Amino acid sequence: MSEVPAVMDGSTWSAPCSDGGRGEQTMGTFAAFMLAGLLTATPQSDQASTRFVDAVPLLRQSAAGIQATLGPPVRTQAVPPGDFQLPMGGYSRLYQRHDATIDVDFANEHSTTVRVSFLNSLVAPKTYKAALEAVGLRTDSPPDLETRSFHEWQSLDGYVVQIVAAPGADHIEIVVLSVGSTP
């Protein structure tokens, strides 16, 4: 019996081939490589494939602390006093990460709100539970307010959490995590 070497994901694989007819050798090699491809392409855990960002550590942080985690912002914008989310004013920074944007509001030089917007509906969370997991939150607490396209927790580990589904409710669009009550 001979072996046919191939390289996939930087590893050399060898598929055993019988010395039979050409069709048998080709199909045996093809089947071995299909199996190897499935094994190397299968995620090792659901969490690794669904986690976009750990949102809780981003709250109550300085802009420099968040930049150390997310990299430089793609936009910084001043927010004048009187804004409904930042009544005393402050600034907002927008970060790009994977298939999401992360908009962070700052008041008194510390972050108060983190909004994660999922840009690609194909990889966006499909359920409210998956959305909580995507931002590093626990999933064992029922929401205080629940509709088909919106869920809200007034105190999930001490934070206000709001999740908004897409208009067709086929995926999650936005997760908002705040340190205080929302207006």
- pLDDT tens column, 35-59: 344 333 333 333 334 778 899 999 9
How many distinct structural domains can be found in the chain? 2
pLDDT of residue 180: 76
Q: Which parts of the chain fold into alpha helices (H)?
A: 22-41, 46-50, 63-70, 128-134
Edge-to-edge strand list for the sheet holding 90-97: 75-79, 90-97, 100-107, 110-118, 172-178, 159-165, 150-156, 145-146
Question: Is 183 contained in some domain?
Answer: no
pLDDT above 90 for 32: no
Q: Check whether 142 has a pLDDT greater than 90.
A: yes
Which residues, 6 or more positions from 138, have their beta carbon under 8 angstroms from its beta carbon?
A: 132, 156, 157
Structural domain for 143, as ranges: 46-178
What confidence tier does 33 reach under pLDDT thresholds 50, 70, 90?
very low
**Same domain membership, residue 124 and residue 54:** yes
Give the CATH number for residue 125. Answer: 3.40.33.10
Q: Both 129 and 106 in a single domain?
A: yes
Mean pLDDT for the chain?
79
Same domain? For 62 and 99 the reply is yes
In terms of domains, do 88 and 154 share one?
yes
79 and 30 both lie in a single domain? no
CA distances from 154 to 24, 51, 58, 117, 119 (A): 63, 23, 19, 20, 26
**CB 39: neighbour CB atoms within 10 A?**
9
8 with 63, same domain? no
Give residue 1's pLDDT: 52
The pTM for the full model equals 0.70
- Sign of CA pseudo-dihedral 125, 128, 129, 133: positive
Residue 19 belongs to a domain: yes
Mean pLDDT of 131-157: 94
Tens digit of pLDDT for each residue in 70-107?
A: 999 999 999 999 988 888 999 999 999 878 999 999 99
Q: Are residues 76 and 60 in the same domain?
A: yes
